[in-house]
Amino acid sequence: MDVSRYLSMGRLMKIARKPGFWLILALLVLITLPHYGEALKHPAFLTYMMSNLGLTRHAFERVLYLAPIVWAGFMFGWKGAFITSLAALACMLPRALLISLFPTDALFEAGAVFIIGNVLAISFNALRKERDYRTQLEVAHQELQSSEQRYRELFDNAHDAIWLHDLDENIITANKACAAITGYSLKELRDVKAGKLFAEGCLDRVQNLEDSALKDEAVGHLSEAKLVRKDGTEAFVQLSTSPVFSNGQIVGFQHIARDVTEQKRLQENLRFYLHQITRAGEEERKRISRELHDDTIQALVVLSRQLDTLVSSSEGLSEDKKSRLEDLWQQTNNIMQGLRRLSQDLRPAALDRLGLLPALEWLASDVAEYSGIMTKVNVLGTPCRLPEEVELVLFRIVQEALRNVWRHAQATKADITVEFEESRMKITISDNGRGFKLPEKMDDLARDGKLGLAGIQERAQLIGASLMVQSKPGKGTSIIVDVPA
């Protein structure tokens, strides 16, 4: 069976199921019967009535055909009206051509009914579409008003401070949270330039954030900024910025600020607490190192010399006892060397006397000596000294990184690269070991059992440095510490 024919039949069946189709068909039949009343001699009263009205040359029933045509236009659109008008025309033409005494008038009236019926159907259909369109516009307007009301409620009652300003930094609107965090009333905020809400050191950062937002580079990005309240006090916020467009043109910016002043203070207190703990720990390491060097090692030196003198001057001792004394002397020297290494690990003298780079040179030499891993230090740029506490933390980071290389990496080579730049210093510790799979987040290091790396991360945070770890199974590991100078 032809597909187009099958679809046409299906469409006709769908139309035939509608009651309006049968109503139109019934109207055509009911109007056509009296239309041929003269020929059928029935109903006689209609012929008599038309004669009394002086309509002997015209058929009033032709006007009635307008009803099914217009109704078809409502039900099925202009196509339904056109098909119905053709059916009505087919009903009128036999009488106009074969029965009517005035065929010219009859044909004119039939054509007029056909044309007027289609015009009325199309006009009524257009009016209906316009009415539906107006209804849709009204519904859309109501929904828009409802949406604006919901947005306004969310905007006004949001926990975060929100304000919009134009390109001249005039604040257009702000919410209650913005008034609360800045100390200005909503009315006063309209007279305040948006730039005056930020501390001087943050203006460039906010400008960069707005420029990035225009380039779609700051979507969902939070930047830390500092607000200046009306009373002159400061508040720390996490700031998110997005551009505001009108007709495709940028007209301003929307800022969302979350007050993190308390969290910032807690972080600073925690950082100070950790700093004090680290400092106390390092002081304790220094004290123990000095005591080992000044007391324990010196006592062992004296004991070693006494044993050496005893072995050299003991003529009456048997060979067995001499051998026993020589073993004790050797054990004393081994213990002394171990304590010296422990003392150096606790607090390298080179770090206090000469600084970070000589201490790293000593560390690389010591690691190569006791682990067999070839370790070297590479220096790029012009070396400069950093604060004592920063150099101490960096030394501990490198020390812990090399300890991880020795214990876990199964490497044969390690490099320490210290790069000095104008405003920062970067230290990279890399090895050719077996590597490992990195966790999704750096904060998961401790949970994944990478306690050494977790300790390195904590130390880096103490001095405001950024830490990046690069590693893949079989590809070695690189730890990069970036320190602002």
Asked whether residue 146 is domain-assigned, the answer is no
The two structure tokens encoding residue 264:
């910032």
**Closest by alpha carbon to 347, among 367, 362, 368, 369?**
362
Residues 9 and 130 in one domain: yes
In a domain, 190, yes or no: yes
Boundary of a domain, candidates 347, 376, 405: 347
User: DSSP letter at 215?
Assistant: T
pLDDT at 7: 42
Kindly list the averaged pLDDT for each block of 10 residues, start to end, along the chain of length 485: 50 69 81 70 54 54 80 77 84 80 80 84 79 85 82 82 88 89 88 85 77 63 81 86 83 86 78 72 74 78 80 71 81 82 71 84 87 91 85 88 87 92 89 84 62 81 85 90 84
Same domain, 29 and 105: yes
In a domain, 296, yes or no: yes
Same-domain status, 294 and 356 = no
CATH code (residue 181): 3.30.450.20
Q: Which sign, positive or negative, has the C-alpha torsion 135, 140, 143, 145?
A: negative
Same structural domain for residues 341 and 414? no
Structure tokens at 399: 């020390």
CA-based nearest residue to 118, from 165, 79, 76? 79
Point out the domain boundary residue: 314, 347, 380.
Answer: 347
- Edge to edge, the sheet with strand 223-228 lists 171-174, 161-166, 249-259, 234-246, 223-228
Residue 173 sits at φ, ψ, to 5 deg, of -155, 155
Flag whether 150 is in a domain. Answer: no
The pLDDT score that the predictor gives to residue 12 is 62
HSE at residue 299, side-chain half, CA atoms within 13 A, is 5
Same domain, 336 and 358: no
Q: Give the Cβ contact number of residue 54 at 10 Å.
A: 8
Q: What is the CATH number of the domain that holds 401?
A: 3.30.565.10
Is 144 a member of any domain? no
Domain co-membership, 251 together with 278: no
- Residue that terminates a domain, selected from 302, 331, 347: 347
Look-up: residue for tokens 């998961």?
444
CA–CA separation, 95 and 105 (whole Å) = 12
Q: Contact, 464 vs 268, CB < 8 A?
A: no
Residues in contact with 243: Cβ distance below 8 Å, sequence separation at least 6, in sequence order? 210, 213, 214, 250, 252, 253, 254
User: Would you put residue 464 in left (φ > 0), alpha (ψ -120 to 50) or beta?
Assistant: left
Q: What's the distance, CA 483 to chain centroid?
A: 28
Based on the fold, state whether residues 194 and 100 are members of the same structural domain. no
Q: Is the entire prediction scored with pTM above 0.85?
A: no
Q: How many domains does the chain have?
A: 4
Residue 147, in any domain of the structure: no
- Give the domain range for residue 83: 3-136
Q: What pLDDT, on a 0 to 100 scale, did the predictor assign at position 271?
A: 66
- Predicted local distance difference test score (pLDDT) of residue 478: 92
